[in-house]
């Protein structure tokens, strides 16, 4: 399973728009457009999961700089999320 980062995404791009672009290269397991909690609007990036590594690699090369919903996207393999310390004020 390969996790793919899609950046520079149009705020109007839907999960279906992204799935259509990546499906040209193979099976897509999941598409997650990241939404802003406060506004409910897209944050301009998404993640795509593809079960076949070879298809995912072809998709990264093929979709990078492709126009989705009117904007050229940047695509690369997602990096694991770094652990961040819990936020907020310290309580004693």
The answer to whether residue 87 is domain-embedded is no
The answer to whether residue 40 is domain-embedded is yes
Taking only the tens place, the pLDDT of each residue in 73-85 is: 999 999 887 776 7
Q: How confident is the model at residue 89 (pLDDT cuts 50, 70, 90)?
A: low
Average pLDDT estimate for 35-48 = 95
DSSP string, 21-33: HHHTSS---EEEE
The answer to whether residue 92 is domain-embedded is no
The answer to whether residue 58 is domain-embedded is yes
- Give the domain extent around 66: 2-77
The answer to whether residue 57 is domain-embedded is yes
Q: CA Rg, the chain, in Å?
A: 15
pTM: 0.86
Mean pLDDT of the chain: 93
Taking only the tens place, the pLDDT of each residue in 1-11 is: 999 999 999 99
């Amino acid at each position: 399973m390969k996790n793919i980062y899609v950046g520079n995404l149009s705020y109007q791009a839907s999960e279906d728009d992204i799935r259509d672009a990546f499906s040209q290269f193979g099976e897509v397991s999941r598409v997650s457009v990241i939404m802003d909690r406060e506004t409910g609007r897209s944050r301009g990036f998404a993640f795509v999961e593809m079960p076949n590594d070879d298809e995912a690699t072809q998709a990264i090369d093929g979709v990078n700089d492709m126009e989705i919903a009117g904007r050229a996207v940047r695509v690369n393999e997602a990096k694991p999320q770094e652990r961040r310390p819990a936020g907020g004020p310290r309580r004693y």
